[in-house]
Amino acid sequence: MAVRERWMDSPVGKLRLVAEDGAVVGLFMEEQAHVPVIGATAEGQGDPLLDEACRQLEAWFAGERTRFDLPLRPRGTPFQLAVWEALREIPFGETRSYGQIAAGLGQPTAVRAIGAANGRNPIGIIVPCHRVIGAGGALVGYAGGLDRKRWLPGHEREVLARTGSGAGAQGQLPLRAARR
């Protein structure tokens, strides 16, 4: 099956969604660092998966959804996949430090490796790397830029303040490892 892509507008700029074989394999922001090369692509207008991904992202940005229910298949090492799965466990509107993620994975000295894996997350927003902060709450490093890293958790806090809960929450599907 062909790799398909679609661009969409969002409050944080244009987003490039990439799907392959029935799963989302990428969500990248304009001018994002660490964007992997993902084969030749075809335009994804009218692709049911990309249509649904756009609908869910639009609802998330509108504050009507706090989780995503999409099949995901990020490409990465086993360590990166474990880190990205841990990111999906951070509740909407909350943050965790790189050290907390490292400790949660049973590797408390792997803080820098957690940061590197977080920076290489190929499915931003949906796999919420924006919820990871430095020790003491500092906003450090974000492949999409620090302005976006400020905006995304701020948006989540505003939604929670407005709704008083995780209104609109939908289930999440587990990550499936992709062949490298």
36, 48 contact by CB (below 8 A): no
Q: What is the count of structural domains for the chain?
A: 1
Is 109 part of a structural domain of the chain?
Answer: yes
- Which DSSP helix (H) or strand (E) runs through 17? strand 15-20
| Ordered per-residue pLDDT tens for the chain, 180 residues | 688 989 999 999 999 999 999 999 999 887 755 555 566 566 656 789 999 999 999 999 999 999 999 999 999 999 999 999 999 999 999 999 999 999 999 999 999 999 999 989 999 999 999 999 888 776 666 666 567 777 888 899 999 998 876 544 443 334 444 333
Q: Three-state DSSP class for 46?
A: coil
Residue 96 belongs to what domain range? 78-163
Is 83 part of a structural domain of the chain?
Answer: yes
Active site residue 54: no
Is 85 part of a structural domain of the chain?
Answer: yes
Is 44 part of a structural domain of the chain?
Answer: no
Query: Which member of 129, 133, 152, 175 is catalytic?
Result: 129
pLDDT at site 175: 42
Distance between CA atoms of 103 and 101, rounded to whole angstroms? 5
Is 180 part of a structural domain of the chain?
Answer: no
Is 8 part of a structural domain of the chain?
Answer: no
pLDDT at site 147: 73
User: DSSP strand E in 59-168: where?
Assistant: 96-97, 132-133
Residue from 158, 87, 157, 153 nearest 126 by CA: 87
CATH of the domain at 91: 1.10.10.10
Is 124 part of a structural domain of the chain?
Answer: yes
Is 134 part of a structural domain of the chain?
Answer: yes
